[in-house]
Amino acid sequence: MEEESIWMENVWWKDAIGYQIYPRSFQDSNGDGIGDLQGIIQRLDYLKDLGIDFLWICPFYKSPLDDNGYDISDYQDILADFGTMEDFDELLKEVHKRDMKLLMDLVLNHTSDEHPWFIESRSSKDNPKRDWYIWKDPKDGKEPNNWESIFSGSTWEYDEKTGQYYLHVFSRRQPDLNWENPEVRTALYEMVNWWLDKGVDGFRIDAISHIKKRPGFPDMPNPEGKKYVSSFDMHMNQEGIHEFLQEFRDETYGKYEHALSVGEANGVSTDDAHLWVGDKGKMDMLFQFEHMDLWDYETGKGMDVIGVKQALTRWQKALEHNGWNALYIENHDKPRIISSWGNETDYWRESATALGAMYFLMKGTPFIYQGQEIGMTNVYFDSIDDYDDVAARNLYKDQLEDGISEEDILYTLGKTSRDNSRTPMQWSSEENAGFSTGKPWLKVNKNYPEINVEKQLQEKDSILQFYKDMIQLKKDHKIFTYGSYDLLLPDDEQIIAYKRELEGQTAIIVTNLSDQQATWPVEDDLVLTDKHIVLNNYEVEPHEHVKDIPLKPYEARVYLI
């Protein structure tokens, strides 16, 4: 307990609530159809009122937008679409004025092919920056190996001018930086410190588990004889990565006491989590991927309730006394959660709130992705022309070539595309959902007259109100931040339930994550009455201690005893 109380005093981010902004789609302030920094300023009071403590804003650096800003051409400039450096300074000031904090999105695995470093690097084989990226000779007239890019196709792009290939784990316009070169690392650290000196409060660190590549760049085993083979095993969480991470931390945010570091840690499991976070760690928390299957394009799988609770519990337990979890169920890389795990047609409100309660009150710092708090859903565009995402467009092209029908591809994208979560934020029932007075860069979801902030602010049982209540509850009782975690009903296929305990208090979070009624066999030592309920998404009948409690479809309850 003593250790916990030290944490409680010293660390601002353990009892904080994070909110992720996708700036292009959050709020447009000047009618060009693109969200911008001034637009974010206009909505800060909304976020404060919701109970948000810090913002993570997706990239707004200068970029040719091949991957919507994750392809940076100048780390120290703002893309004109979003505003100017003065707008950024004003935003930071306005965030701090409201006693909130701001995290930037740091993209260090790769740059844009328009970054001056890459332009130099590709200009000739003996350019001093040649080795800042990863260049290889062709093998038998073809790519140096069979690695497949996360965004489809080969990870290698041929460059006519010098007759070599460069490596790109993501799009071909996102060449990977060569972290083995100390000059690259120093240049990145200087840039990171420049932002810290400006007063930003920390970073979400993009794709950081990919910075180390397998030495020798060997082919992937290819028993099926495919053209390219999924190559995560060669460039994700590779041996030796921790030397880079340690140095990065020591040279940058490690020197800034209050800076928060959140790593996007694809491929990190609980077995090696303690090398990433905790007393030997290099970051404060991680976005782990084990419950979310990122980059998974299989459709219609629905929610694997047992799989999700096992993955989340594994992380809860692994970081129980050492380290800290970042909790999330949505982001800009995943379709909307109600559309994939909930039931947007029959139990929209109920499934949104039950899924919310399921993850939010675990031990860790919860993040909300813009629009999640009002239950935004997938967009289901009916033409490929409406899609913007490079991953969606690549997938479309590849699958067409493989002879898959257009209808089937659009079905897949409707379920899985990242554009599902990138449609404009639905603020009101005004034209374009109050996002912009101009033509939005990506179409607004047609359901905005029903699903929007303004409407939900007026309804006392709205999803938005539920989120507000849940945030307030977490802030009012430190058990939800510091209490221990124990999974209940490990084998139940409908219910996810867990117990938190702190200093003689107990909280029970129970969620039925199916569209059928469920029965909750209450453990014998739990004496629960309706008077203990502090959060619920259905009206609850008065009840004294009972053995089996029926739960309606997507019912969620929190008891505090």
For the annotated catalytic residues, the residue numbers are 206, 264
One of 61, 75, 170, 359 touching ligand GLC (CB under 6 A): 170
Nearer to ligand GLC, 67 or 87 (CB): 67
Is 438 strand, coil or helix? Answer: coil
CA distances from 421 to 336, 388, 404 (A): 6, 12, 25
- Residues 83-122 binding ligand GLC (CB under 6 A) are 107
* Three-state SS at 162: coil
Q: Cβ neighbours of residue 225 under 8 Å, at least 6 residues apart?
A: none
Please, which residue, 15 or 32, has the CB nearer to Ca ion? 32
Q: Does an H or E element contain 528, and which?
A: none
Q: Answer with the entry of ligand GLC, Ca ion, none that 515 interacts with (C-beta below 5 to 8 A by kind).
A: none
> Is the Cβ of residue 442 or residue 495 nearer to ligand GLC in the bound state?
442
Nearer to ligand GLC, 22 or 135 (CB): 22
User: Of these partners, Ca ion, ligand GLC, none, which one is at the site of residue 36 (CB under 5 to 8 Å by kind)?
Assistant: Ca ion
**Got the DSSP string for 454-507?**
HHHHH-TTSHHHHHHHHHHHHHH-THHHHSEEEEE-TT-SSEEEEEEEETTEEE
> Rounded to the nearest whole angstrom, what is the least distance from the CB of residue 171 to ligand GLC in the complex?
8
Q: What are phi and psi of 317, to 5 degrees?
A: -75, -40
The nearest distance, CB 70 to ligand GLC, in angstroms, is 3
Question: CB 82 → ligand GLC: shortest distance, Å?
Answer: 16
Ramachandran quadrant class, 433 (left: phi over 0; alpha: psi -120 to 50; beta: rest): left
Site residues for ligand GLC, 31-90, by CB under 6 A, read: 67, 70
Contacts of 394-400 with CB under 8 Å at 24 or more apart are 394/151, 394/152, 394/153, 394/171, 395/152, 395/297, 397/152, 398/152, 398/153
Look at residue 30 and give the partner it binds from ligand GLC, Ca ion, none, a contact being a CB closer than 5 to 8 Å depending on partner kind: Ca ion
* Nearest-approach distance from CB 197 to ligand GLC, in angstroms: 25
User: 297: which 2 tokens?
Assistant: 């394009």
Q: How far is the CB of 136 from ligand GLC (least distance, A)?
A: 21
Selection from ligand GLC, Ca ion, none that 32 binds (CB < 5 to 8 A by kind) is Ca ion
Convert residues 190-209 into a mask of x (bound to ligand GLC by CB under 6 A) and - (unbound).
Answer: ----------------xx--
Report the interface residues with Ca ion, using CB under 5 A.
28, 30, 32, 34, 36
| Sign of the C-alpha dihedral computed for residues 86, 88, 91 and 97 taken in this order | negative
Site for ligand GLC in 241-280 (CB under 6 A): 264
Partner interacting with residue 337 (select from ligand GLC, Ca ion, none; CB below 5-8 Å by kind): none
Backbone φ and ψ for 507, nearest 5 degrees, come out as -120, 140
Indicate which of Ca ion, ligand GLC, none lies near residue 333 (CB less than 5 to 8 Å, by partner kind).
ligand GLC
Rounded to the nearest whole angstrom, what is the least distance from the CB of residue 383 to Ca ion in the complex? Answer: 25
What does the per-residue mask of binding to ligand GLC show for 322-351, with x meaning CB under 6 A? ----------xx------------------
CB of 211 to ligand GLC, least distance (A): 12
Nearer to ligand GLC, 264 or 388 (CB): 264
Calculate the alpha carbon distances from 496 to 380, 468, 493 in Å. 29, 22, 8
Residues 6+ apart with CB under 8 A from 124: 130, 161, 162
CA distances, 494 to each of 22, 78, 365, 519 (Å): 32, 46, 25, 9
- Report angle CA 508, 514, 518 to the nearest 5 degrees: 60
Q: Is 118 helix (H, G, I), strand (E, B) or coil?
A: helix
67 binding partner (options Ca ion, ligand GLC, none; Cβ < 5 to 8 Å by kind): ligand GLC
Question: Please, which residue, 27 or 63, has the CB nearer to ligand GLC?
Answer: 63
CB-nearer residue toward ligand GLC: 59 or 434: 59
To ligand GLC, the closest distance from the beta carbon of 522 in angstroms equals 40
Q: Which residue sits closest to Ca ion, CB atoms considered?
A: 36
N residues, the chain: 561
For residues 244 and 211, is the Cβ–Cβ distance under 8 A? yes
* For ligand GLC, the closer CB: 19 or 348: 19
Cα(449)–Cα(53) distance, rounded to whole angstroms?
Answer: 29
Residues in touch with ligand GLC (CB under 6 A): 67, 70, 107, 170, 206-207, 264, 332-333
